[in-house]
Amino acid sequence: MCSSDLHFTFDRNGLQIQSLNATAGRSQLNASGVQVDFRKLRANGNYDLKIDLAEASAIARQPQIKSGLLRLTGKGSWSPEDFASTGDFDVRDLAWQNKTFNGHDFSARGMFSVDPRQVSISKAQGQFLRGSFVADADVVNWQSPEKAAKSQQQRGIMVIKARNLALTELLGGLGRSFRPVNQLQFSGNVSGATDVQWRQSISDAEARVVADIVPPATTPGHRIPLTAKIHGDYDFRSGGVQLSEFSASTASTQIQASGALASAVKIDRKSVV
């Protein structure tokens, strides 16, 4: 169901929109102070946009998104030659499912800016996997096709710092490609940093991960408390994992490993009696 309410004035020079309220399904747009210059073909104004992500994903034929609400508040400008927008974003109750990870109860808020060349997210803070995180991201040439010339290729970088993520939730959310790792019964709190960089497409990204795992204050009887330190790289395209350092211990076992999980891994296992 769609509805709208518009209040405006106009003259030979342009259009002034005092308020615009539009609703489509469970999404809503509120705009105010919009100025449209007929002579220069320019427009600018303020907006408050709420998007039901499940509805939007169904329209875009991206069924991976199962639920969530995105709110964007800010100001923007447009002309045939250029556009720009800056403001704040707020994501609530996001859930998704794909071959890599099944996530739910994701929330985040922060600042954003976008223009024809660059998209930036800054000062993002959120909750996920019963823990918290902060993040920043920049994507240059974000509109470039995958086969663009080298100087015009998309380039992106994302830095995420997490604290006290639940290891049980993380392992349980891993997709089928991570079997049998996603079936491990370890328990712990994960803190660390991830640096993701790519060219052409985020599907070609490489992630560098540094993380520490400490046992939780209490552990269910069927879970095994884990202490671990991980330094590694993950290749998004191949799914390969390269460990430069991995050490883990439980009450009865210690493991040290390094190497590529896709081929040979050097493991030193010790049992503690």
Here the contacts of 178-187 (C-beta below 8 Å, separation 24 or greater) are 178/100, 185/222, 185/223, 185/224, 186/223, 186/224, 186/225, 186/226, 186/250, 187/215, 187/216, 187/219, 187/220, 187/223, 187/224, 187/225, 187/226
90 or 101, which is more confident? 90
176 in helix, strand or coil?
A: helix
Report pLDDT digits (tens) over 155-201: 999 999 999 999 999 999 988 777 777 788 999 999 999 999 999 99
Q: Is the pLDDT of residue 124 over 90?
A: yes
What does DSSP assign to residue 170?
Answer: H
Closest Cα to residue 76, out of 56, 96, 49?
Answer: 49
pLDDT level of residue 262 (50, 70, 90 thresholds): low
Report pLDDT digits (tens) over 22-45: 999 999 999 999 999 999 999 999
**Matching residue, tokens 């993950």:** 234
Query: What pTM was estimated for this model as a whole?
Result: 0.86
